[in-house]
Amino acid sequence: MRIDVHAHYWTDDYLDLLVGLGRTDTDAQRGQGAGGGAELDARLRLMDRAGVDMQILSAAPLLPHFAERDKAVPTARFVNDQYAAVVADRPDRFRAFAALPMPHVEESIAEMRRALDELGMAGIVLNTSILDRALVEPEFAPIFAELDRRAAVLYLHPSGNNACTPLIADHGMTWMVGAPVEDTIAVVHLITHGIPTRYPNIKIINSHLGGALPMLLQRIDNQYRWEAPQTPELPSITARRMWYDTVGHGHVPALRAAIDSFGPERLLLGTDFPYEAGDIFVRAIDYINDRSIDPAAAAMILDRNAATLLGIDAGGATGRPTP
């Protein structure tokens, strides 16, 4: 079953709600084809054209992360209810990752329970940082503990904060460079803080081939002992305890590096719809079948890994572990 794990969905109602709460970064998400109604119908036609059976929808990077509890909590419920409605209408074509009202830990755990137990979400989505704070800060440990208890899927996506550096923000590089830098920083944080070893039941999916991680893995193995001596095991081993989507904008050398670094069994199809749309969306799938990629590896990445990880069979049914 061909499942795209990196696909966005935003309604105008949700974007307007965020603007009313003070967000100023919703313009890039409007008019891109990621909404409901006719846009959703067009998305389904494109999925059919590209041979994609199902998408796992997420609201990242526009997640309901607000310092104010009274903003974050109702907004998370609003967007999760929207996603649940889309899935209920087309369960054969869509699942969704639930948003959490971070950084509010107790409220986020409560919404996680609602989303997974009542709404039937496929997992949880977080940005790679929470209001410019690292995911691995001790305050957020209960989130990982609850995800681990549930053996849940955790999908991570860049927040678009330029990795908190003006060297990116002031030079027009937020998404073309900043996003993969955010991916890289977050996944190395997870590795050096031992998150996949401390919480081995969480199924962590990192975006964009893990950023620069495939290029850096040997360097990190060579240098972690004096820079991050608290790291519990060889970083390349920890890296292979997680999963990575294939959003690489059709760049086959990057895909080959990820396959060689992590193994094809750790890669999941991703398209980054609507930012890869039309012919580029088709290319996001087809480049995995490049002649330089082993056909057995391509078949695993395209048609088996995500379904196995998410517990979705060819008919769209979901098998979830009991919490």
Domain boundaries, the chain: 3-310
The C-alpha R_g of the chain, in whole angstroms, comes to 18
The torsion angles phi and psi of 157, rounded to 5 degrees, stand at -140, 145
Section 175-191 average pLDDT: 97
pLDDT (tens digit, 9 = 90+) per residue, 217-276? 999 999 999 999 999 999 999 999 999 999 999 999 999 999 999 999 999 999 999 999
Section 72-100 average pLDDT: 97
Any idea which of 27-31, 32-36, 106-110, 160-164 has the lowest mean pLDDT? 27-31
**DSSP code for 157:** E
- Looking at residue 315, its pLDDT comes to 65
- For the four alpha carbons of 231, 235, 237 and 240, in that order, the dihedral sign comes to positive
pLDDT (tens digit, 9 = 90+) per residue, 288-300? 999 999 999 999 9
Say yes or no to pLDDT of 321 above 50. Answer: no
Structure tokens at 261: 């670094």
Q: Does residue 58 contact residue 97 with C-beta atoms inside 8 Å?
A: yes
Query: Is the domain covering 3-310 a CATH 1.20.1270.30 domain?
Result: no
- Looking at residue 314, its pLDDT comes to 67
User: Which residue in 105, 114, 100, 107 sits closest to 155, CA to CA?
Assistant: 100
- Looking at residue 29, its pLDDT comes to 87
Token pair 């049914």: residue: 317
Say yes or no to pLDDT of 319 above 80. Answer: no
- Looking at residue 28, its pLDDT comes to 81
pLDDT band at 320 (very low <50, low <70, confident <90, very high): very low
Beta strand 123-127 pairing with 94-98:
parallel
DSSP SS3 for 320 = coil
Q: How far apart are CA 210 and CA 217, in angstroms?
A: 11
User: Which residue in 24, 21, 50 sits closest to 250, CA to CA?
Assistant: 50
Say yes or no to pLDDT of 317 above 80. Answer: no
Any idea which of 179-183, 190-194, 228-232, 309-313 has the lowest mean pLDDT? 309-313
Mean pLDDT, the chain, integer? 95
Say yes or no to pLDDT of 108 above 70. Answer: yes
Q: Does residue 307 contact residue 1 with C-beta atoms inside 8 Å?
A: yes
Q: Does residue 129 contact residue 95 with C-beta atoms inside 8 Å?
A: no
